[in-house]
Structure 1
Amino acid sequence: MADTARDRITRFFQKNVANRVMRRMPFQTLLETTGRKSGEPRRTPVGGRRVDDSFWFVSEFGEKSHYVRNIMADPRVRVRINGRWHRGTAHLLPDDDTEARLRELPQFNSIGVRTFGTNHLTVRVDLVD
């Protein structure tokens, strides 16, 4: 599927403005993956919810998201929830009903995912600590 102008503008804004600000917020939830090319830690602000020993969220751009591509290369991740880091294993769930999932997740973030996202993909991180 070809990128639309909206996709390019959204990704540019997220990468160069929103994500840079949000990563600095002490209680913003962050997903840390390992860069598939660099091997360096990559931190991305995400909105989701912890349910028991799992953290759930929906990616706006699915497999076009760099963090999703990083997960495909190495599913070992960390998630910072309420200022505390947790190790875990990420699972991509293409058969999950993302609309139903977004109704279960924090509404402010879900509105943004619905508004700007074009290829939703559910991600579950099984937390180990």
Structure 2
Amino acid sequence: MSRLADLRFRAATAFQRRVANPLTRRLPGHTLLETTGRVSGLPRRTPVGGRRVGESFWLVSEFGGRSQYVRNIEADPRVRVRIHGRWHSGRAHLLPDDDPVARMRSLPRFNSAAVRAFGTDLLTVRVDLDA
């Protein structure tokens, strides 16, 4: 990883952890992804931008395998997603062969712009929601 990419990663994750995520998690209408902590076993809730399409929820991780929630998904793909205030259980799939830039064209614009601006290793994630 280049020095600039590492700096962007550190700055963005520090801002997200200390400012954006604690505030956004409290907003009732914001979408949350709940994973199980790979070390602690505790629920971890991360605000995400994405879109439900049928029985799947799609999102793009801006830091790929460096994202804590992606690492948690690798350890345990069972997740929950809060969409419009309602929780849905599902199974997450990491899709390294998907084109994340093309995928973001179908996702919410504001979040996609932020992911493109700060992201260094984009990775598509699909959550297949339980019926």
Q: Give the length in aligned residue pairs.
A: 129
Aligned counterpart, 2:79: 77
CA RMSD of aligned residues (A): 0.9
The residue that corresponds to 2:37 in the other structure is 35
Name the TM-score, length of structure 1 as normaliser: 0.98
Aligned to 1:87: 89
Q: Secondary structure at the match of 1:4?
A: helix
- Structure 1: which amino acid aligns with 2:90? G
In the other structure, the counterpart of 1:59 is 61
Shift of 1:7: 1.3
Partner of residue 24, structure 2: 22
Letter in 1 for 2:76: D
Runs of 4+ in 1 over 3 A off after TM superposition: none
- Alignment partner of 2:13: what SS? helix
1:128 match: 130
TM-score, scaled to structure 2? 0.96
Whole-angstrom distance in 1 between the partners of 2:50 and 2:8:
23
Quote the Cα distance in structure 2 between the aligned partners of 1:5 and 1:126.
Answer: 33
In structure 2, give the amino acid aligned to 1:87.
Answer: S
2:105 aligned counterpart, secondary structure: helix
Cα deviations by residue, 1:30-78 (Å, 9 ceiling, x for unpaired): 0000000000000000000000000000000000000000000000000
Unaligned runs of 5+ in 1: none
Structure 2: segments with no counterpart, 5+ residues: none
